[in-house]
């Protein structure tokens, strides 16, 4: 299956990951300060997101994060991608500008790194046919803002990714964060979920291996070769594209799956959503059935 015929699947997967761009408001956001986000429960410090260096059409705006209580020499963090003049608010925590290949959308998600301290997960996505994303975590350090982690895509083809906070343990305010990633290929596809937490003692991001957010695989076939798996997915499609949201994955990297096989699957954060995906593909093509497996 060539990449051109996978464009619909890529769109479906991107929507599942939550990376679709919200509707844009009619009025451009004011140049300068875009929004403030809480940085500390104890000091009242705020992260300030600003656009700088653009005053007219044709200018490129640089986005920066600084602390509200920082003095002139305190560190500011520059976001990786610039944006066109006329930045518009797409949602309370998302901004967009430019068209087609020049489009850039910047989204911000606060994450509670410690009981009283916050970081900001920032995603910038741009492009038209192949949308690609920069992911960053920014934290407070030495009275300024610094980058503590990045999880950019490889910019190698049809790939998609999403980051977000999640509760580390029940009842605790402290959050971890994840990066969910898919690369669409035919040899086979790649999917992985990496999880992280803030190490308060070391003041750094570390991998979180125990407390991970749940993911469920809706599986409609298991095969010995990748070619058999791809052929099975193609035969399930019919004219309606019944399995257009399904990937072909190798089982070996996933400890809860039988190693050495290739499965046709779609991945979901809730078991009910995985069950719904199975029902949908079965209603579309009655010859297809499957089961749900926790990853």
Give 83-126 pLDDT, tens digit per residue. 999 999 999 999 999 988 789 999 999 999 999 999 999 999 99
10-19 per-position pLDDT tens digit: 333 433 444 4
Tokens of 19: 């990376």
Which structural domain, as residue segments, surrounds residue 149?
4-18+29-207
Residue 38 counted as domain residue: yes
Tokens of 283: 């209603």
179-189 per-position pLDDT tens digit: 999 998 878 99
Residue 24 counted as domain residue: no
Q: Answer yes or no: do 129 and 193 share one domain.
A: yes
pLDDT at 149 over 90: yes
Q: Binning pLDDT at 50, 70 and 90, where does residue 32 land?
A: confident
Separation in Å, CA 268 to CA 89, 175, 229, 281: 29, 20, 20, 15
pTM of the model: 0.86
Cα–Cα distance, 236 to 293 (Å, whole number): 20
Cα–Cα distance, 230 to 76 (Å, whole number): 48
Residue 229 counted as domain residue: yes
Given a contact cutoff of 8 angstroms between Cβ atoms, the answer to whether 264 and 219 are in contact is yes
Residue 39 counted as domain residue: yes
111-123 per-position pLDDT tens digit: 999 999 999 999 9
Q: Answer yes or no: do 259 and 129 share one domain.
A: no
Q: Answer yes or no: do 179 and 34 share one domain.
A: yes
Residue 146 counted as domain residue: yes
Q: Answer yes or no: do 162 and 97 share one domain.
A: yes
Residue 180 counted as domain residue: yes
Give the model's pLDDT for residue 6.
38
Give the model's pLDDT for residue 158.
84
The domain total for the chain is 2
Q: Answer yes or no: do 151 and 281 share one domain.
A: no
Q: Where do we find the tokens 């006329």? A: 86
Q: Answer yes or no: do 289 and 253 share one domain.
A: yes
Cα–Cα distance, 238 to 219 (Å, whole number): 18
């Amino acid at each position: 299956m060539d990449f051109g015929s996978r464009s619909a699947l890529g769109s479906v997967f991107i929507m599942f990951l939550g990376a679709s761009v919200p509707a844009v408001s009619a009025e451009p956001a004011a140049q300068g300060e875009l929004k403030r986000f809480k940085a500390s429960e104890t000091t009242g410090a705020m992260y300030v997101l600003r656009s700088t260096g653009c005053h007219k059409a044709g200018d490129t705006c640089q986005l920066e994060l600084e602390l509200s209580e920082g003095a002139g020499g305190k560190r500011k963090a520059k976001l990786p991608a610039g944006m066109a003049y006329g930045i518009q608010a797409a949602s309370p925590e998302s901004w967009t500008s430019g068209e087609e290949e020049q489009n850039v959308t910047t989204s911000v998600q606060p994450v509670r790194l410690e009981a009283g301290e916050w970081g900001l997960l920032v995603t910038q996505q741009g492009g038209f046919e192949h949308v690609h994303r920069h992911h960053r975590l920014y934290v407070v350090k030495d009275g300024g803002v610094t980058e503590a982690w990045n999880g950019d895509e490889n910019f190698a083809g049809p790939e998609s990714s999403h980051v977000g906070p999640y509760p580390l343990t029940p009842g605790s305010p402290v959050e971890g964060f994840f990066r969910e990633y898919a690369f669409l290929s035919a040899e086979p596809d790649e999917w992985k979920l990496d999880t992280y937490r803030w190490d308060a003692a070391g003041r750094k991001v570390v991998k979180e291996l125990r407390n991970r957010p749940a993911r469920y695989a809706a599986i409609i076939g298991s095969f010995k070769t990748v070619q058999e798996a791809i052929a099975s997915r193609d035969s399930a499609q019919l004219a309606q594209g019944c399995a257009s949201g399904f990937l072909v994955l190798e089982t070996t990297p996933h400890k809860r799956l039988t190693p050495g096989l290739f499965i046709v699957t779609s991945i979901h954060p809730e078991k009910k959503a995985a069950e719904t995906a199975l029902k949908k593909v079965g209603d579309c093509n009655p010859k297809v059935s499957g089961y749900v497996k926790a990853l």
